[in-house]
Amino acid sequence: MMVQHSVSSQRTNPWLVIPAPRPTARLRLICFHYAGGGAHAYRTWDKHLPPGIEVVAVQFPGRGVRLTEEPLTNIDALLPALMEGLTPALTKPYAFFGHSMGALIAFEVTRSLRRQKKSLPVHLFVSGRGGPRERDWDVKFSELPEAELVAELERYGGAPKEVLENTELIRLMLPTIRADFKLCETYSYVPEEPLDCPISACGGLEDFEVKQERLDTWRDETSAAFKLRMFPGGHFYLQKSEPSILQTILRDLQSFL
């Protein structure tokens, strides 16, 4: 008889948000959000997935119920606390999905797990970001004046227009957004052996920044299977193609259900 393990609630573990708890699920899909985002980015994903998969969204400091916490600007400072916070979610087979900044963090968490000789995700899904050996942006978004940064956010389509036009709200959000960009800008790739878990890279066909050739560089990070898939939409293609990307994820995970 299989013993089912539960994940700590957000009251005791602020790192993990579970939109629809499924204690009997066979596999967890652990999702890492993009710069300036939060766990809410994955709040509807469970509606497109079968009962055998439980969606667990990671919530970083500085947003959601953690709004009063100081956001972290360096991935080396983030990882130790994040690894501890993730532990309750790793008690059954799991996969990682990360979009943009989240792809980078999911990758580095996987490498940290390997260094600690712990079980790795059965699959790593990376989205909206080129491979970790290349720089994410040439511009230092974290240092842009407010008006220029808001204009860039609008260009990428990462926030609704009504949010970007709400001066009070955007000024509340900007310190966390800048911190997230700083984390990406200060990241430095350290060479290691390729992972032995499969990697699927995903992106938007109209993403002017992360084109297919940049996504393809993720193949260098695995000695297992690699797949590259493109979907309609720009950098935040997930908003337009949510059912399609989730059906793709489901096909890749079917053998574990």
- 141 within some domain: no
Range of the domain at 45: 16-133+191-256
- Tokens for 2, please give them: 């299989």
Residue 230, CB-side half-sphere exposure with 13 Å CA sphere: 14
Does a structural domain hold residue 179? Answer: no
Number of domains in the chain: 1
Label each residue of 158-205 as H, E or C: CCCHHHHCCHHHHHHHHHHHHHHHHHHHCCCCCCCCCECCCEEEEEEC
Closest to 4 measured CA to CA, from 31, 30, 26: 26
Residue with tokens 């996987």: 110
Contacts of 46 (CB under 8 A, 6+ apart): 19, 20, 22, 53, 54, 55
Cβ 4 vs Cβ 27: under 8 Å: no
- Report the percent of the chain where pLDDT is more than 70: 94
pLDDT of residue 153: 85
Please report the pLDDT score of residue 171 as a whole number: 86
Say which amino acid occupies 58: V
**Do residues 164 and 150 make contact, with C-beta atoms less than 8 angstroms apart?**
yes
Six-digit token string for 172 = 């509340």
Split at pLDDT 50, 70, 90, the class of 89 is very high
CATH code of the domain covering residue 129? 3.40.50.1820
Q: Is 94 helix (H, G, I), strand (E, B) or coil?
A: strand
Which pLDDT belongs to residue 217? 97
pLDDT of 151 reads: 85
Residues 24-57 pLDDT 10s? 999 999 999 999 899 999 999 999 999 999 999 9
Tens-digit pLDDT profile for residues 129-147: 999 998 766 778 888 888 8
CA distance 122 to 151: 39
Give domain status of residue 147, yes or no: no
Identify whether 145 is part of a domain. no
- The position carrying tokens 């999702």 is 31
**In the chain, alpha helices (H):** 75-86, 101-115, 146-156, 161-164, 167-185, 212-215, 238-253
Q: Write the CB contacts of 204 (distance below 8 Å, at least 6 apart in sequence).
A: 128, 210, 230, 231, 232, 233, 234, 235, 236, 237, 241
Catalytic positions are 100
Q: Show Cβ contacts of residue 54 under 8 Å, excluding neighbours closer than 6 positions.
A: 7, 18, 20, 21, 22, 23, 25, 27, 28, 29, 46
- Whether the predicted pLDDT of 3 surpasses 80: no
Average pLDDT over residues 153-175: 80
In a domain, 38, yes or no: yes
**Domain contains 155:** no
Tell whether the model's pLDDT for residue 5 goes beyond 70: no
* Selected residue with higher pLDDT from 161 and 57: 57
Give the H/E segment covering residue 56: strand 53-58
- Within a domain: residue 149? no
